[in-house]
Structure 1
Amino acid sequence: MTIHNTSAARPWTQGPRATFDLETTGPNPRTARIVTASLILVGPDGTVLRHGEWLADPGVPIPEEAAAVHGISTEYAQEHGAPLKQVVYELASAIGGLFSDGVPIFAFNAVYDFTVLDRELRRFELPELAPFPVLDPLVFNKKVDKYHKGKRTLTNLCEEYGVVLDNAHTSAADCLATERLATAMTQKYPKLDLPAGELHEHQISWAKEQAADLQAYFDKIGKQTTVNGDWPVQPERERHT
């Protein structure tokens, strides 16, 4: 099924959009390997039009800490998962096709998921992906609710915005909840109801501003760390200031 997004100027809420989530072997997007992936296409009214899921054998042991989050053990992935290269190729092809059709893709903390996918493509010497347009409710929230109290996890924000999130930390549940959260957030903050390409460009600036604010805070309290503000993909090498 081909989606023709005929008006790049219309607000993203008026067209089809997709939502994407990964569960992996660890928190560092430069080294994490994909374990599960979900990609869901929804219509303008939020109806699910297409739903793809992948389970990979990452080729490395899945740490107990990661398995405790998403429920996939090394043994299960080895027995039931497809070869990781196959999963990466199929997933990137599906995502690339949506981008080519002008369909925006949502991801919560998108810089993590798209950096993981970028590094997997590089490892397997597969064609790189140019992620555009990407929409990230985490970046949205930091912009529209800068002084938000409490954690900004997907679970917490879904609760705050009245979005149902069952089976948190499964890629399928997190995936659909991300789109629902973005919709609820945009209903509350109509200034987010922009064309996807325009909103993507805004998020590049917002992510840099948000990183600069966090860096200033860390510098103030004496925490020695560098906050990367690149979005939606971190550079292959860390930038040092």
Structure 2
Amino acid sequence: MTRQLVLDTETTGLDAREGHRVLEVAAIEIINLMPTGRVFHRVIDPERDIPSDASRIHGFTSADVAGKPTFADIIAELETFLGDDPIIAHNAAFDFAMLDAEFARCGRPALPRSRMVDTLDLAKGRYPGMPNSLDALCRRMNIDNSMRTSHNALLDVQLLAEVYLELMGGRQPGLVLAIERSAPALLPGEAPIVRTPVMIEVDEGALQRHAAFIATKIKDALWLK
């Protein structure tokens, strides 16, 4: 079983060295490249003002975060959710650097860079020389991002999970449907449907006609060797 976390943050600015802080963090769990439905999402009081330039990007104002928990209040819960598994982010070095600063304030070690998976690097490798922002990737992969009017961490991480799964080869909706159909929900008092396999017998004449057709249409059929 391969467990990974897709993560995004929103911040008061671009550089933790200038005192900027994390004000929203979101992460979703995927196992074997399939979302499990487990989500971590917290809006945080950054314990400082939110510049208007940052508010224009993500929509948060100081009034929106007033009374919210601080990063120190949520760090234990976040660490538990992240565990020791790989963390996927877009331009991951930024998110890791901002989280490093928050972890350091709480006396916690930085996240190991060995856990970092950067979808921006993956996208550059797959689409060299092309725009590879989250919006550009959503458009290229036909992922609906019409709700993304601002940089909201929870929405961004949901979109990023779809992008990552496409970058890794695409999801397998048929597999999901097979799982869902294998155990249909039953109404109270309803008995499950039991299907009995039926053997289909083919007569000798049909087999001979099929063999003749193959001989004339397909040269060196692999299954006949």
TM-score normalised by structure 2 residue count: 0.67
Q: Report the AA paired with residue 137 of structure 2.
A: L
* Corresponding residue of 1:20: 7
Report if aligned partners of 1:19, 1:40 keep a CA contact under 8 Å in 2.
Answer: yes
| Shift of residue 53, structure 1, vs aligned partner | 0.6
Structure 1 Cα separation of the partners of residues 161 and 55 of structure 2: 25
Do 1:25 and 1:62's aligned partners in 2 also have CA atoms closer than 8 Å?
Answer: yes
Kindly state the Cα deviation for residue 45 of structure 1 after the two structures are TM-superposed. Answer: 5.5
Alpha-carbon offset, residue 46 of structure 1: 2.6
Cα offset for 1:180? 1.0
Quote the offset at 1:129 in angstroms: 2.6
Conserved in 1, the CA contact under 8 Å of 2:96 and 2:111?
A: no
Instruction: Indicate whether 1:172 and 2:154 are aligned.
Output: yes
Once residues 157 and 29 of structure 1 are traced to their aligned partners in structure 2, the CA distance between those partners, rounded to angstroms, is: 27
CA 160–22 in structure 1, closer or farther in 2 if over 3 Å, else same: same
Give CA deviations for 1:31-67 in whole Å, capped at 9, x if unaligned. Answer: 4201011011123353333111111110000111111
How many Å apart are 1:29 and its aligned residue? 4.3
The reply on whether 1:51 has 2:33 as its aligned counterpart is no
Answer whether contact 1:158 1:181 (CA < 8 A) is retained. Answer: yes
Distance across 2 between alignment mates of 1:142 and 1:57? 34
Match of 2:93 among 102, 105, 111: 111
Q: Distance in 2 between matches of 1:43 and 1:76?
A: 33
**1:91 pairs with 2:78:** yes
Rate the CA distance shift 1:155–1:30 in 2: closer, same or farther, 3 A: farther
Tell me the TM-score normalized by structure 1: 0.63
**3-state SS of paired residue (2:93):** helix
Structure 2 unmatched runs, 5+ = 171-225
Q: Which has the higher contact order (CA 8 A, sep 6+)?
A: 1
Aligned positions, number: 167
- The 2-side partners of 1:177 and 1:30 are apart by 29
The residue aligned with 1:8 is: none
RMSD, aligned α-carbons: 2.0
Q: Kindly indicate whether residue 68 of structure 2 is the aligned counterpart of residue 69 of structure 1.
A: no
Task: Tell me what 1:38 maps to.
Answer: 26
- 8 Å Cα contact 2:33/2:165 also seen in 1: no
SS of alignment partner, residue 34 of structure 2: coil
For 1:53-202, list aligned pairs within 5 A. 53-79=41-67, 81-95=68-82, 97=83, 99=84, 103-148=85-130, 151-165=131-145, 166-167=147-148, 168-187=150-169
Q: Unpaired runs of 5+ in structure 1?
A: 6-14, 189-241
SS of the residue corresponding to residue 187 of structure 1 reads: coil
In the alignment, which residue of structure 2 is the partner of 1:192?
none
Q: Give 1:136 deviation, angstroms.
A: 1.4
Report percent identity of matched pairs. 24
**Shift of residue 125, structure 1, vs aligned partner:** 2.0
User: How far apart, CA to CA, are the structure 2 residues paired with 1:128 and 1:16?
Assistant: 20
Q: Segments of 4+ in structure 1 off by > 4 A?
A: none
Query: Counterparts of 1:45 and 1:110 in 2: how far apart (Å)?
Result: 19
Q: Which has the larger radius of gyration?
A: 2
The Cα of 1:172 is off from its aligned counterpart by 0.7
Change in Cα spacing, 1:129 to 1:144, as seen in structure 2 (3 Å) is same
Name the SS of the counterpart of 1:157 in structure 2.
helix
